[in-house]
Structure formats: C-alpha cells, structure tokens
Structure 1
Amino acid sequence: MTRSAPSIDVSVDAHETIASETAKRLPLETGGILLGYREKDNVVIAHALVVDGGGATKDRYVRDDVRANERLAEFLADRAEDDPIGYVGEWHSHPAPSGPSTIDRNAMRGAAKATDGSIALLVLTPGDIGGYFGIIAQRQRLGRVVMRDAYVTFPPPRFGQLGPLPDGAVRGDGPVFISYRQSDGTQQAESFENLLRAAGLVVWRDRVDLRPGTTTDRLEQALTDGLSAGVLVVTPDIADSEIVRERELPRLLQLDENPAFSLCIANKIPRQGSESKCDYDAPDRLLRLTPARTLADKKQANALDPQGELEIVRDLLMHRIEQRRPEIRAENRDFTIRVQSRPAPFAVDADDDDLHMRIKGATEGRLPTPEGLELLSRTLPLTGDAVFAAGAKRVRISGGAHLSIGLALGAVFPETKFGNVAVHDVQNNVWESTPASNDPGVTELNVEALAIEVAQPSNAANRVAVFATLTADPDLTAFERLVRESAHGFASVEIVSVTNSNRINPQEAGRLSQAVAQHVKHLSAEHGRAEVHFAFHGPFPMAVLVGRYLNTLRTICYEWDGDTINGPRYRPAIALEPGVAGGPITEVIL
C-alpha cells in the first residue's frame, strides 16, 4: 500500500511573515524558525520567526543558532505552560525557483536526529512560477531519519479573484487614485495629494473619500467607478499591505491596460549604497511579483527626490490634457479651470471643468497657508504649460481664492502667451481681459501719491508701494500701516482707486485691469524698475486679470490680515516674477 504524503499546514500569520520577509530580502536568501504543533504525521505551522543569517547570499542562508534560541525563548516566555505550540522546524527562501537542496536535506537530517518528534522544512520561492516546497523529517529507531516530501497548504487569499472591469471604470475627467501603505506612506501620499490638487487634478484619498460601509466593498467601488489615473506609492512597508498587493494593485494594472488611464509609480526605495537613487526592481520585489518585471518595465519616478514628485504631477497633467485636447479643438471651446483655496476638497469635486485647482487652505483665520502657497509655487508652472499645450483660444476661470493666489494665477497666463482670459464670479458674471466693445466707461481710476513722513533707508530707492482698491470708500488704515512700519522704506507710494461709488461693471474689467497694471509698471519704471509692493483690494476676477499684466516686474503681493488683537494689517504673501525660471511664484513670504 502506498503511504500518502504528510502535510505542512501554514497559518495566515506564518505565511505573511515568510512571504513578506522573503520579498524584502530579495535577491538574498533569508530564513528563520517555525512554531506550531504536530498532528500525527502532519505539522501545523502557527507562527514563523525571522532569524537573520548574517552573511546571506543569493544562494545560501545559514541561520544564527544563538539568535534563533534567543528568539524562541522570547516567544515561549509569553505562552501558557500547557500551550502546545513550540519549535517544529525551519524555513528559508530561494530567490530562484528550486526546492530544498542537498545541503538543506542534510541539515534537516542532522536537526531531526537531535529532536523528539517530526520537524518541518519550508522553502519559499517567490513569484507565480514559484511557491512552497516542504519536507518533514523524523528520527526513527536506532537513530535512523526518515525524510518525506510534504504537501504545503495555507488558507486561501482574503480576496476572491478579480472580475472584469465594468463599463465606465476609466473616465477622462475622473479622480486620481493614490495607493499606499499607511504605516510609512501616509506622508508621501499627502504630499502627492496636495501637489496634484494644487495643479488642478481631482484626487481620491481613503481618509476623506472612503464612505461608510464595508471597506473592501467601498474600495472596489472606488477602483471601478470612473478613475482617470493612479499613483502607486512604493515604500518599504508596502510589502506588508495585503490591501495594496491583493486588491488595489491588481485593479490598477487592469485599468492601466486602457490607454485613457495613466498609472504612475512613485518609488521611495533607495538603491543599496545610495540615499538619493531609487531601486527600480524594488516595487516588483516588495509586492511579490518577482521574478516578473511587471512594475520594473513601467516608468517609475524617483520619489526620494522632490523633482520626482513633480515629474508625476507633470505626467498626469499632460495625460489629462491629452484626454481633453481633441474635444477642446473639435468644439473650439474654452479651457476651463475651477479654483478654490478655502473649502475642503473631495473626489466628488470631479466635474466637467478641465482642471480643478484646490490650494490647501488654513483650518482657521483668513490668510492662505504657507504650505498651500509653497505647493502652488511648485505646480503653477506645470499647470501653465499644460493649459498652453491644450491649444484653447481662451482660458475660462471660475470659483474664488485669496487675492494673492488670483494675482499669481493671472501671472501664469500672461497676455504674451494666452490671448484672452475670462473669469466668472459667483453670480456667473463674466470678467474678460480683452476690453469689451460694450464697456460703459463709467468707472475711471484715480491715482494719488501718498506722502512718506518717515526717514527712508538708503535702499528705499529700489522699492515702491501701490495700494490698488477697486471698491468705494476704501479703508486705508492697513496700507498706511504697511508703509509706516516697513523696515526698508519706499521711494514712492501710490493709491490707485476708482472714481465711481457703485460696484465695477464686469464689462469694464478689461480696460480697468490694463489701466491698473499700467500705473504699477509706470511707477516701477520711474524708479529704475523698482520692486513693487502691491496690496490689492477688489473682486477676485480683477486680481486674476491684473496679474496677467505684471509679467515684467518683481511684485511682492500682500494679503489683508484682520487681526482683532493687533489690528488689521497687510502681510507679504508671495513674490511674483513671471519672467524668470521657476516663476511666477519665486518666493513664499507669509
């Protein structure tokens, strides 16, 4: 009678430890000891402990006996005296798909001679063509050792097999999905989220967009309900993420088969011996795809370098433009941007607008956050290039934001590069940069020089200050305080105001925005192209339109701070220099 082969039954906990450690240590071998109990001829593995080999290579692992005994003692110290779990064998990995070697078998034979009861050996080789190999060895009478190949069983995956993607799983105007391991990838995921939002892309993030319900069901819905792109953030701990490995990544790879979807890989795994260069083989290794090169053969960005982050933002922006450009040109329509710097963003923000810029706002107070302005300074040049690549004849902006952000937004769409910009206010009135033929001409500008009553430092000649107020009965207190308290002084100070007591008619926007900018440029030119300190007070659409014409100046843009304790003041927020590399925002001052 043929005797059936014994089995080694591996628990979920033990399997995850072995598989995860194998993935992390590739291309070297690794290993450790097995803990469990015996059932007749079979061995049940409840836990696996890792024991560093000290000198492991691609084809050899020798465990540290002293460290193994220490780890075993530590584990057993916390167990009850009648707990049946104890030492039942060894495990190690083979990077290449092969079973136990002659050396492995001889080592097991020696271990079995010194052990009461059967002991198991597990060898794991990674990848689809690999798997577990098992041996059970047992000492018989007169010291003879019987060694038999064993079946290796372990619980089925937590997730069932993926079905086909439903219709509509990819949508050109859908959100960008960020996949990451929370333990060490949250900070990087937040950085990508904020950068992508500032650039104009809508983002799906679990922390705000995962609705109540069964997590896996909601996640599956998010992954199949109209995404445009995905960012896979690869960090060391991603090897331990079952959600990413078994659910998010397979769906993202399915989606990436559609040309209308873009998958970006942000690699934060340093290459051995380098802190700045990434290991392009690491994503496949950590996500248990090796020896396949599923991710290594895709484009990866080095997320160890801040420029790698911007590379992904640029790629996803241009992907968005590629999806929208045929429609824009076929319909000869405007390129549309919605901008906000205050409300909290969500994935449901995705709508028909080509871009949806969300600048990270403050949790309290009126001022924009320095972090939000820094993000905008990094992404605004990319947004400007992307909009230009779309080839639209007019850019149409809606929403609202802080006035310094409006000035910066206008500066990235200068008159020399973009023919016409239109801004919609909250009542959906249109404010255009091109002077209107039906401009009623009611509102004119009044320019008044403000006397400087304090002694001016020697470098004051390089600076001028302008307060442009486009509302009736302006409060000059905060601006006068700016001039009075300036440590560097100003060569000249002007107030540009409107003569009409009524609100500006949007049809006057083109003429008035050009006139305001012309006064600012003229004052700067009179003082040798002096740096302009600009406090603007007026409708958000006018801030955007005025910003279009400040492309030849270095302009310090101020924000009004209604501090109830110290009194209202204007605080410098950003420096605009649209004509230099890295502009238009070259400095965040706030």
Structure 2
Amino acid sequence: MTGTTEFDHTDPVFISYRHSDGTQPTAELAWLLRAAGIPVWRDIDDLPPGDTNERLKQAIDSGLSGAVLVVTPDAEHSRVIREVEAPRLINLHRAYDDFALGIVNAVQKGSGSVDYGAPDRVLGQSAVSLTGVDQKDSTREGLIALVRGMVFHRIAHRRSAVQSNDATFNLTVQTRNTPQVYDRTGSELDIRVRPSTHERLPSSDGLTDLADVIQLLPTAVTRAGAKRVRITGGAHLTVALALGMALPTSRIGQLEVIDQRGQAWTGDGIARMPDTPTLAVAATGASHELNSLAGRPRVAVYLDLMSPRSDTAFQRYVDENQSALATWTHLRHITDGPLDPARAGELAAEAAYRIREFSSANANAAVDLLVRGPFAMAILVGSLLNTVRVTAYEWDDTQRPSYVPTLRLLSSTTGGAVREVLL
C-alpha cells in the first residue's frame, strides 16, 4: 500500500552496500550524487560510534529522501544488509510514493548481461518485490543514469517550495570542504565536489564527476519553474566559471550570488558595454597573424579584478603560450580597492561583452580565460559567455605563481558546460 507523507526532499539519500565488493561503485556513486547536488548518507563518512545496527536504524529512521541498494554478489552474505538496511528501506519505498529507491545491480548472468532478478534473491525478498524498482548497472553510464533519476525526482518534489519562494531556486556549492551528511542546507541542490589533495588546484576526479552531471543543472532549474537562481558557498574559480556557463541567463533568468558576508551580487542578464566603462585594457599583445594559425585561432584574456595588481603568473603564461596565441589582452578594473557588489551586474556584463567581442574580432577564436577576482564575479561572467569556447585556468603557487589549464567549457550544449577536464 502506498501513500504520501511529509518527506523533506532535501534530506540525504542512503547508500546500502557490501564493503567487500561494493566499495568501488558506491564511492563512485556517492561522489556523482554529491556533484549533482544530492546529499549522501554513507557509513564510511557518516556512521557515528556505537552499536552499528542501532546506529544504522537511527540513520534510516531519522529522515531520508531516498536510498540506493548497491547489489553485488557478496551482499547476499551481509546480515546487516539483509536484516537491517534493505528491509527498512524497501518498506519505506512500499509505504510512501515520495520515497525514491534505486538499485545499482552489479550481478551478471553467465552471458555477461545484468541479472535483473538478483536483487530479490540476494536481499532475501520475495520473487517479484524489487522487479519494478529502477535498476541500473554499475558502469559509469549506469550510475549517471541513476543520479539523473534521483535529481529529477528531488526537483519534482521541490517545485512547490520554489514557487512559494518567489520562484527562486537555491543552490549551494563547495569544492574545498570534505562533505558529510550534516552539510546539507535545505537548498534545492547542494553541489559538493570531492576535495583535492593538492594545496591549490581542484581534484581532477572531482571535476570529472562534475563534468558528468552538470548537464542536469539547467534542466533541474527549468523543471522547478524557477525564474531566478541564488547561489551561495565557495569554489575554485574554474568551477565557478563552469557553473555560470551551465546556467546561461538566456535560459534560467536572473542569477544572484550571495558572498560570505551575505552581500548579493546580481547578474545584469545581457553582455553589453555600459555608457561609462569600468574596465580598462592594462596591456595587450599580438603573437601571430590569424591566417598563419591552423584551425580555430586561440586568444587569451586575463580578467584581473583584484588589488593590488599582480602580473607575474599571467606574464609566465604569455611567455609559455605565445607561440600558440593569435593575441592576448589584460583587463583591469579602473579603480583599485574592493569591488562594489551593487555594481556586479554591470561589471560582469561589460567583462563578458569584451571577452565575446575579443573572440569575435579574431575569427571566433577560442578563449583562454584567466580570472583573478571574487567567486561571485566568475559565476556572473560565465553566465554571459554563450557560445564562446573557453579554456578556464586555475591559479597555482605551490612551486611558483602560474596559471594551469583546468577545464574546457562551452555553454548551451546538451552534453553539459564542461567539455573536457584538463588536470
């Protein structure tokens, strides 16, 4: 018998798995879910000290929005899975339509195909208990497909909350902190990219996770019926650019970023040159005639929005890449000192306009984009770079100040804004 209850669909998704042969697909799934914005409860990260069975029961009974059963051959030998986790999670699925249950099925038949009857058998259920539950195989493609279903299930049940909040879609992001289940904020999505072991650069694996699921983000916003997106948190600037390019204002409406001081940086909505420009060309240079370069030309833009001025890393970039560049330009704000959040939309609109015009003037060149400035500005500028092919660079000073190619980005693509991870 099914029914409805007041589930909080911002609660985590519980992952049940066998350590001996399920750790790898579970870890991969957990990071994909987090990169897509869904908090995860996983024992290795979130199980507190105490009696394991009782702690698991408490975790399941204290509030979940869904669960994933990772079915592997060895799961059949786990008393905890068969007697504690699976029965409770399956009962929630049977009792409530709102509870999202998915299965990752890593059991194969002799022919190598997925054994869709395995979940009932392995988990000790009746012959047809789980045949109607969405099952995906344990390949990367299967895990991404399961994440897609979980995201859209969550958003379908958050639509009314978005509408009652002035059609605002709340999104948080972090790329540096180690995520735990208690990190959730009640937002529509809480994007958490796996943290890096590198002192400065983001995690390559984390960026790959993000690349595989970022195409879900603009669809989630539109399915929620949102007219604006409000972003809080913090991230590496290349990830901030990627988020902006995944959320072009032409598709999602108004974009607002709340900084660590609670100040709002609101997008202008269109790339344009203001009557009174606030950016100046600090330096520029040309390396080659356009017709001397094979293929699509490549140009570079250094958008430096911080004080005091710092050219060392950019000059090293120019020295190392000059032979491949048609031309480059260094843009700076006309005044020193902190930027005014109230003028963020106008500044982002001008920066995006200049970047787009620079690309257009050089035969629609691909743009190497190096940003030095606030997280909020990177998002707002990215949201206005429709159709521009961007290679985003991350700053690194672990050995010497330099810029490192990190992501290839392209807005308005069905495959997602992140086209390639370069780390």
TM-score by length of 2: 0.93
Structure 1 counterpart of 2:79, which letter? E
Q: Does 1:581 align with 2:417?
A: no
Asked whether the 8 Å contact 2:254–2:269 carries over to 1, the reply is: no
Structure 2: distance between partners of 1:488 and 1:418: 39
**What is the match of residue 406 of structure 1?**
240
Q: Does 1:381 align with 2:215?
A: yes
Matched positions, count = 415
Structure 2: distance between partners of 1:332 and 1:453: 50
Deviation at 1:451, TM superposition (A): 2.8
Q: Does 1:504 align with 2:342?
A: no
Structure 2: distance between partners of 1:513 and 1:393: 20
Structure 2: distance between partners of 1:540 and 1:362: 18
Structure 2: distance between partners of 1:454 and 1:405: 31
Is the partner of 2:249 in helix, strand or coil? coil
Alignment of 1:411-490 (within 5 A): 411-434=245-268, 444-452=278-286, 458-459=293-294, 462-486=297-321, 488-490=323-325
Asked whether the 8 Å contact 1:172–1:324 carries over to 2, the reply is: yes
Q: Structure 1 residues 461 and 383, CA, compared in 2 at 3 Å: closer, same or farther?
A: closer
Match 1:324 to one of 154, 158, 176: 158
Asked whether the 8 Å contact 2:221–2:252 carries over to 1, the reply is: no
Structure 1 counterpart of 2:396, which letter? D
Structure with higher Rg: it is 1
Q: Does 1:536 align with 2:345?
A: no
Q: Does 1:261 align with 2:105?
A: no
Structure 1 counterpart of 2:415, which letter? G
Deviation at 1:386, TM superposition (A): 1.1
Deviation at 1:434, TM superposition (A): 2.4
**What is the match of residue 37 of structure 2?**
200
- What do the CA deviations read for 1:423-453 (whole angstroms, capped 9, x no partner)? 00000100000279xxx99981002442357
Deviation at 1:364, TM superposition (A): 3.6
- What do the CA deviations read for 1:272-321 (whole angstroms, capped 9, x no partner)? 212xx31101111222225x211123221122x32211111111111111
Match 1:569 to one of 385, 402, 408: 402
Structure 1: distance between partners of 2:137 and 2:256: 38
**What is the match of residue 118 of structure 2?**
282
Q: Does 1 or 2 have the higher relative contact order (CA < 8 Å, sep 6+)?
A: 2
Asked whether the 8 Å contact 1:443–1:498 carries over to 2, the reply is: no
Structure 1: distance between partners of 2:256 and 2:222: 15
Is the partner of 1:351 in helix, strand or coil? coil
**What is the match of residue 176 of structure 1?**
13
Deviation at 1:460, TM superposition (A): 8.5
Asked whether the 8 Å contact 1:460–1:491 carries over to 2, the reply is: no
Structure 1: distance between partners of 2:227 and 2:418: 25
Q: Structure 1 residues 288 and 487, CA, compared in 2 at 3 Å: closer, same or farther?
A: farther
Asked whether the 8 Å contact 2:5–2:98 carries over to 1, the reply is: no
Deviation at 1:473, TM superposition (A): 2.6
TM-score by length of 1: 0.67
Is the partner of 2:131 in helix, strand or coil? coil
Structure 1: distance between partners of 2:23 and 2:115: 20
Q: Does 1:249 align with 2:86?
A: yes
Q: Structure 1 residues 260 and 488, CA, compared in 2 at 3 Å: closer, same or farther?
A: farther
Deviation at 1:358, TM superposition (A): 0.4
- What do the CA deviations read for 1:164-211 (whole angstroms, capped 9, x no partner)? xxx999432211100000000001110111000000011001011101
Answer 1 or 2: which has greater helix percent. 2
Unpaired segments ≥5 residues, structure 2: none
Q: Structure 1 residues 460 and 327, CA, compared in 2 at 3 Å: closer, same or farther?
A: closer
Structure 2: distance between partners of 1:519 and 1:262: 46
Structure 1: distance between partners of 2:208 and 2:296: 29
Asked whether the 8 Å contact 1:170–1:225 carries over to 2, the reply is: no
Asked whether the 8 Å contact 1:468–1:535 carries over to 2, the reply is: yes
Is the partner of 2:252 in helix, strand or coil? coil
Structure 2: distance between partners of 1:520 and 1:265: 45
* Larger deviation, residues 485-494 vs 233-242: 485-494
Structure 1: distance between partners of 2:237 and 2:325: 23
**What is the match of residue 389 of structure 2?**
554
* Larger deviation, residues 477-486 vs 326-335: 326-335
Is the partner of 2:33 in helix, strand or coil? helix
Asked whether the 8 Å contact 1:169–1:255 carries over to 2, the reply is: no
Q: Structure 1 residues 219 and 496, CA, compared in 2 at 3 Å: closer, same or farther?
A: same
Deviation at 1:529, TM superposition (A): 0.7
Asked whether the 8 Å contact 2:263–2:341 carries over to 1, the reply is: yes
Match 1:394 to one of 228, 232, 236: 228
Asked whether the 8 Å contact 2:258–2:376 carries over to 1, the reply is: yes
Give the superposed CA RMSD. Answer: 2.2
Deviation at 1:583, TM superposition (A): 2.4
Structure 1: distance between partners of 2:276 and 2:354: 19
Alignment of 1:39-58 (within 5 A): none
Is the partner of 1:450 in helix, strand or coil? strand
Asked whether the 8 Å contact 1:180–1:232 carries over to 2, the reply is: yes
Is the partner of 2:110 in helix, strand or coil? coil
Q: Structure 1 residues 185 and 173, CA, compared in 2 at 3 Å: closer, same or farther?
A: same
Structure 1: distance between partners of 2:203 and 2:177: 13
Deviation at 1:247, TM superposition (A): 0.6
Asked whether the 8 Å contact 2:228–2:252 carries over to 1, the reply is: yes
Asked whether the 8 Å contact 1:176–1:227 carries over to 2, the reply is: yes
Structure 2: distance between partners of 1:552 and 1:364: 31
**What is the match of residue 132 of structure 2?**
297
Structure 1: distance between partners of 2:269 and 2:154: 31
